[in-house]
Amino acid sequence: MSSTAPTTDSNLAVQVEALEIKATTTTATPRNHYHYQHHLLRKYSSGEDEVEEVEDDNEEPRSLRRSPVTHGPSPAVDHSHGLARLLKNNLLWSKAIRERQPDFFDRGSKGQQPEVFWIGCSDSRVPENEVLQLAPGEVFTHRNIANVVISTDLNCLSVLQYAVDVLKVKHVIVCGHYGCGGVAAALSDQSFGLIDHWLANIKDVKRQHDSNIDSIQDQEERCRALVEINCRNSVLTVAKSPIMKAAWARGQVIDVVGMVYDIQTGFLSELGYHVSNEKDLKTHLSVHSDALFAARKNTQL
């Protein structure tokens, strides 16, 4: 990263300490249903114990900030609207950032220089910036149901190409997560409508490892195994892409790593699928399903 980019430590301070907002509701009267009491954590740069409090707006509801670019015919969002809390949180968030790092947004507006490209699941419980403790501008992201990467998905591949060829990221993280609803649905014989077409990709992965996955008696553990194998498949699909092969051929230092997030503990773990070049890729492709699951059993002992 260039010398003008914000440092990870200072960004972490902003992300973790300056921006955590706690909201409590009071329902004394209908007008106060969206009456929130916000608190910003103590300033990151001081060792003080006091908490800075942002007073609530006790006035009658009024319109919140509106973009001057286009003024559509819809009425402005006021304080009685369900999104009012989110817009107020945004104002507090922006204010907190600017108070602690006045030039933060100015620097960010000049471009992004992330070192990490994250391919993850759309699940709202796996927010990559918070999981990795990185600030805005430090992780480039693509998310879909069950972090599936297939060679015909132009959306995902376009993002991958931009990350590799333009942003020059150093790491591509493919992250699955235990308790994934998409993977659980793929294990089922039930039809879920349109998403069945997407889940067919995970079912294809399962068929490659049917005997080993079906031998697991516990349904939850079977799902965890498919989460891991599905992530492995996406790692290998990324690594086999012409985008990655071209990057390695020109000497670009970049790796593809498979990880899994445990929503019950908050822990992120590497799965042992780490591809840094064509030689690594051939090694991973040569590993038989039985060997993968034997290693998995040994890890659990």
Binding-site residue numbers for Zn(2+) are 121, 123, 177, 180
pLDDT of residue 175: 98
| 121 among known catalytic residues | yes
Indicate the residue type of 293. Answer: F
Looking at 142, 177, 209, 224, which residue is catalytic?
177
pLDDT of residue 78: 75
Domain 113-300 in CATH 3.40.1050.10? The answer is: yes
Looking at 79, 100, 123, 232, which residue is catalytic?
123
What's the token pair of residue 193? Answer: 């409508």
pLDDT of residue 281: 97
Looking at 121, 175, 223, 231, which residue is catalytic?
121
The backbone region for 137, taken as left when phi is positive above 0, alpha when psi lies in -120 to 50, beta otherwise, is left
Where in the chain are all domains bearing CATH 3.40.1050.10? 113-300
Q: What is the pTM for the complete model shown?
A: 0.76
| 175 among known catalytic residues | no
Do the beta carbons of residue 44 and residue 13 sit within 8 Å? yes
Mean pLDDT (10-residue bins), the chain, 301 residues: 44 44 35 30 34 42 63 73 83 86 83 93 95 92 98 97 98 98 95 96 96 94 97 98 98 98 96 96 96 81 53
Query: Which phi and psi angles does 173 have, rounded to 5°?
Result: -105, 120
| 125 among known catalytic residues | yes
CA 112 from centroid of its chain's CA atoms: 17
Pairing of β 21-26 and β 52-54: unpaired
Looking at 79, 100, 175, 180, which residue is catalytic?
180
Query: Tokens 């440092």 — which residue?
Result: 7
Indicate the residue type of 240. Answer: K
**Nearest-angstrom CA–CA distance, 116 and 169:** 6
Q: Where are the alpha helices (DSSP H) in 61-150?
A: 84-100, 104-109, 128-132
What's the token pair of residue 20? Answer: 């955590």
pLDDT of residue 51: 35
Those residues whose C-beta lies under 8 Å from the C-beta of residue 71, and which sit 6 or more positions away, are: none
pLDDT of residue 301: 53
**Nearest-angstrom CA–CA distance, 5 and 107:** 7
Burial class (CB in 10 A: 0-12, 13-18, 19+), 175: buried
What's the token pair of residue 51? Answer: 């908490």
| 31 among known catalytic residues | no
